[in-house]
Structure 1
Amino acid sequence: GSHMVKVQVKQLQGMSLTRKVHPSTTVWELKGEIEKEWCIPRYQQRLALQDNPSNLPALRDGDSLAAHGLFYDIVLLLLCTEPQEMEVLVKDSNKTTVYTVRPTDTVKQLKQQIYACQHVPVEQQRLTYETKELENHHTLEHYHVQPRSTIYLLLRLRGG
């Protein structure tokens, strides 16, 4: 058997949870466990090593624990932040445009930004991400849209 790491995650208020995970587990997957346990959206979680949380940059979502050299039992501090702004790429048949959004923005808010920039009426825009069509009333985090990921813009033609 390959070796597991015991990870204890603490909140500033003193609550903690412990999980045994494989070193190949990503920070994003660990945040998923925290979200299940404490209902804090992954986007609002910042994890830092408890030893010096102030100087340490937060652990990056895409990295595994092993990538951070964490092969032993560790204590992580969970800091909650406001959802951060992120850039997404919106690609249509001609070009790719960068938009700045928050995970908590709705799909409709993104469509309104696209309208402001590209003058395509909101009701003619169809947006897809990882093969799913995005519905106006849902937020971007509902679809797990990642920073710097690509959303495809298709146009609905009138009368169709």
Structure 2
Amino acid sequence: MLVPPTKADWAGRTPDPSQLRNKKFLGSGKTSEIDPTWTESAAERRKRVGEEMLGQRPRAAAAAPAAPAEDREEMDRRVREYNAKHRGKSLVEQYREGAGQTPERQPDDPRKRKFDHEKDIVGRHVSASQIDDMAARAAGMDSRFSRGKYL
């Protein structure tokens, strides 16, 4: 018969809480600073905004230094040089170069390509004389039980 565990037995099996470690994120070892505006309470926020309004504290958005313009220009120049050296022409440039040229048309042979609904069915234009001819040939097939003239 099963006996329920006693409290002493249960408590003896649990490890010391101070010895527990988060094993999932131990590998990174990097700590990143969290913006305090995400974790502040309403009272802390009111105090911070009040101090910013009075000029006692710099604004949070202004606290982050922006990259100088010459650094950005230098980075843009380096990116343009790298792209010119390693990348080919863009599709727009390729199209503009080939705009003056007309591709050579070859006759369309349906046996040498796969079925295309637009070309094979929709693309066939039937003239009025061909429609009249088909209607005249179909006039002999007025009933499935009568004898028709097929030729």
More helix by share: 2
More strand by share: 1
TM-score, with structure 1 as normaliser:
0.20
TM-score, with structure 2 as normaliser:
0.20
Q: Which has the higher contact order (CA 8 A, sep 6+)?
A: 1
